[in-house]
Each structure stands twice: as C-alpha cells, then as structure tokens.
Amino acid sequence: MDFLNDIPWMLIAASLAKTLFLIFGVVLPIVSYTVYAERRVSALIQDRLGPNRTGFPISLFGFEKDLQLFLGGLGQPVADAMKFLLKEEFTPAHVNKFYFWLAPVLAMVPALSTLAVLPFGNFLFGQKMVVADVNVGILYVFAVASVGVYGIVLAGWSSNSKYPFLGSIRASSQMISYELSLGLSAVPVLMIIGNLNLSEAIQYQIDNGWLLLPFTDGKLTLRELFLWIPVFVSFIIFTISMFAETNRLPFDLPESETELVAGYHTEYSAMKFALFFLGEYAAMIAGSSIIVVLFLGGWHVPFLPINTLESSTTPAGIALGFLHITAFFAKVVGILIFFIWVRWTLPRFRFDQLMKLGWLYLFEIALVNIFITAAILAWVK
C-alpha cells in the first residue's frame, strides 16, 4: 500500500476544510441573504416595505412569538429555501430529460469552482486562506466562468420551447461577446502587477496601495497618479462586463420578463430553478470577489498590521486573520449592494444596443487602454 503514503492527506484535509468553510460557511449564506437584500433594497427604492415579517420560527418550540432580529424578515431566505426543497419536482413531458436535469448542475458548478483560487484572507491557524494558490489565478477564473455558458445553452435547448431557446441564444452570444472586454480590461491591471497569481496581486497592492485607491499605502507618487487613469477605465469596463457576464440588469436580456417570460429557465421549477438562481448569485459573488482582488486590495485593511504564517496561531494573529476574512467579504458585499442598486435604477438595454456597446465601445476602449498603460509603464518612472 505504498501509494497511500504518497497521498498528501494533510493538504487534502486542509483544502476540504477551506472549501467547506468558503462554500457553506460564507458564500451560500451570502447568496441567500443577497436575495433578501435584493428584495429589501428594491422595496426601499420603490418606496415599499419588502419582506419584513418572516422571523425565525422559534414558536415551533413553545415560544410565544417568532424571533425577529434587526430589520425583520431575516427568516425569509430560510423559508424560501424550504419552499424550493419541498415543492414538486416537475419535469415537463416535451423536454429532453437528461440535458434538462444536467443543465442546472452545469450552471451551478462553474460558479462555485471559480472560488477555488480566490485569496479570501491572509493566514489563519497556519493556513493560507486560499484553496488553490495557482500561478494562473485570473486565467483560471476566466476559463471556468466561460464553461458556465453550457448550463444556460443546454437549459434553453433541452426545454424544447421557443422562449427558453431564444433566451439561451441571447445569453450565450452576450456572454461570449463580453468575455472579450472582460479579459482585455483585466490586462492593464495584470501588466501593472506583473503576475497572474491573485495572492501576488494583493501583495502588490499591500506594498503600493490599492490600484483603485493608490493612497492606501500612505503615499502617492506621480507614477501611481498616471496609472490611476487606465486603472479606472479598466475598472469601469470590467464592472460593466461583469454585469453582462452574470446576466444582471441592465443586461438581463436572456431572462427579460416582458419579452421571454423568464428566458432560459421558463420550464424549470422547484430546486432545479433554485440551482439556476443560486448559480447566478454565486457568479455575482465570484465576479465581485475578482473586482475586490484586482482593484480594491483584496483582504487588505489599510494601516493595519499583517499577520504572517508564524504569527497566525497566536490569539492576536487569529483575530487579525478573521478580521482580514471579514474585510474581504465586507468589500464583496459592498459591490453586491452596488449590483442591486444598479438593477433597480437603470432600465433594460435593447439587444442591439447591448451588442453595440460590447463590440463597438468597450472592446475598443479596453484595447486602447492596454497601449496607454504600456506607454505609462515604459516612460513614467
């Protein structure tokens, strides 16, 4: 049994623990509460109340009233999840069964897989807070995200129905088009950092200030000031493309209710529908995390000490480790709130406008931006 000794059990156990913590401890709760936040923020914007009644059902255990915390309605995500799980799993007769069942899985898995390379904290208990610290971090994210198209394409095709099919065609052409500006807008940032590894990207921003806010290291040089211009352009294009990639309003053409009923998931119900829903929000979280890592310093908190591998087992190091993880996800939640805010503020684009924006403006601006960055890097010292 020689090969059993070769297996790095400690590494596998640590990776598994980090993965479970990331997915079930952080991302899925954030997903369910983003849905809640979406409903409460939209209510706020539209001068309504939103779901503010559902509490945690402790009245089942003999208490007089359900538990209400803070704003009220915090039990709503739990109730929604229960509803999705308990509803009838209905499969229409005219669908292509195998692919119909496969599609929601393919929509969910890539979105969660992108989380593997995210450095969501510094060190904690002697472990680096990233599942796989690979040297192609950002490319991995783009690659896995591009596989996410299959879920949507298959959903639309296997439904054997016209609205889902139109929705999936729109989704895939939109995602393929915006992948270009997404990738190109990240290039200036990678040129400045000089590394594809996401941990290194954060390390660079710790040493030189966050790319979008270059004064966070306490000083501001002329070079940083010049580089801030292409970085800001990159940030805008990256964020817009991220909206299109995750099918969020103002680019939610694939599921625009007024034209396509619900787009590619029209025929889906219960937990299969919920998987599309979860996949979309998980992709939003992954996208926001990439924005945070590339432009907003990742888990870094300015003017705070940074724990090392050695100090991460001491009480102060553990506190600092948790603080960094909290800082990372606080920034992610900030971006998510921005996503929601935009959704309830802007009207939907027309499909030709969407394609024109992607191909005629964002693509070219991102391309020119690369040359400007190269010029600044070469001449401004």
Partner 1 sequence: MSPILFWLFTALMLAFGVSVILNRDPVASALSLVASFLCLASLFVGLDAFFIGVIQILVYAGAVMVLFLFIIMLLDLKAEKRRSFNEFALVGGAAVSALFVAGLLKVLSVFPAGAQPFPALGVAKLDDVRLVGITLFTRFNLPFQTVGVLVLVASIGVIVLSRRQLK
Dmax (CA) of the chain:
73
Which sign does the torsion angle of CA 212, 177, 34, 318 carry?
A: negative
Of residues 165 and 235, the one with the C-beta less far from partner 1:
165
Among 44, 139, 271, 323, binds partner 1 (CB under 8 A): 139
Q: Which stretch binds partner 1 (CB under 8 A): 139-147, 235-243, 270-278, 364-372?
A: 139-147
Binding segment (CB under 8 A) for partner 1, from list 57-65, 120-128, 168-176, 268-276: 168-176
Binding-site size, partner 1 (CB under 8 A): 24
181, 358 contact by CB (below 8 A): yes
Q: Is 192 in the site for partner 1 (CB under 8 A)?
A: no
368 binds partner 1 (CB under 8 A): no
Count of CB atoms within 10 A of residue 187's CB? 17
What token pair was written down for 302?
């300015």
> How many CB atoms are located within 10 Å of the residue 128 CB?
16
CA distance 205 to 213: 10
Site for partner 1 contains 149 (CB under 8 A): yes
Q: Which is nearer to partner 1, 12 or 85 (CB)?
A: 12
Cross-strand pairs, 52: none
Cα gap 267→104, rounded to integer Å: 12
Residue 68 as a binder of partner 1 (CB under 8 A): the answer is no
d(CA 328, CA 21): 15
Segment contacting partner 1 (CB under 8 A): 43-51, 68-76, 131-139, 252-260? Answer: 131-139
**How many whole angstroms separate alpha carbon 152 and alpha carbon 265?**
8
Question: Nearest distance from residue 297's CB to partner 1, in Å?
Answer: 23
- In angstroms, give the least distance from the CB of 315 to partner 1: 33
Q: What's the min distance (Å) between Cβ of 128 and partner 1?
A: 15
Residue 379: C-alpha distances to residues 92, 228, 229, 234, 355 (Å): 63, 15, 15, 20, 35
Contact letters (x/-) for partner 1, 90-109, by CB under 8 A?
Answer: ---------x----------
Residue closer to partner 1, measured from CB, 31 or 166: 166
User: What whole-number distance in Å separates Cα of residue 112 and Cα of residue 306?
Assistant: 28
Decide if residue 7 touches partner 1 (CB under 8 A).
yes
Q: Which residues here bind partner 1, judged by CB under 8 A?
A: 3, 6-7, 99, 134-136, 139-140, 142-144, 146-147, 149-150, 153-154, 157, 169, 172, 176, 179, 196
